[in-house]
Chains A and B, each alone.
Chain A
Amino acid sequence: QQQVKQSPQSLIVQKGGISIINCAYENTAFDYFPWYQQFPGKGPALLIAIRPDVSEKKEGRFTISFNKSAKQFSLHIMDSQPGDSATYFCAASRMDSSYKLIFGSGTRLLVRP
Chain B
Amino acid sequence: DAGVIQSPRHEVTEMGQEVTLRCKPISGHNSLFWYRQTMMRGLELLIYFNNNVPIDDSGMPEDRFSAKMPNASFSTLKIQPSEPRDSAVYFCASRPGQSYTDTQYFGPGTRLTVL
Q: Are B43 and A95 within 8 A (Cβ)?
A: no
- Cβ < 8 Å to A, chain B residues 73-92: 91
Q: Are A99 and B108 within 8 A (Cβ)?
A: no
* A52 at interface, CB cutoff 8 A: no
Q: Are A41 and B45 within 8 A (Cβ)?
A: no
Interface residue range, chain B: 20 to 34
Interface class of chain B by DSSP: strand
> How close is A6's CB to chain B, nearest CB, in angstroms?
9
| Residues A93 and B106 in contact in the complex (CB < 8 Å), given A99-B31, A99-B50, A99-B56 | no
Q: Which of A51, A94, A95, A101 has the most CB of B within 10 A?
A: A101
Question: Shortest 5 CB-CB distances between A and B: which pairs?
Answer: A43-B106, A98-B100, A103-B43, A99-B48, A46-B103
Which of these, A45, A89, A99, A103, contacts B100 with CB under 8 Å?
A99
CA A104 to CA B104, docked complex, whole Å: 16
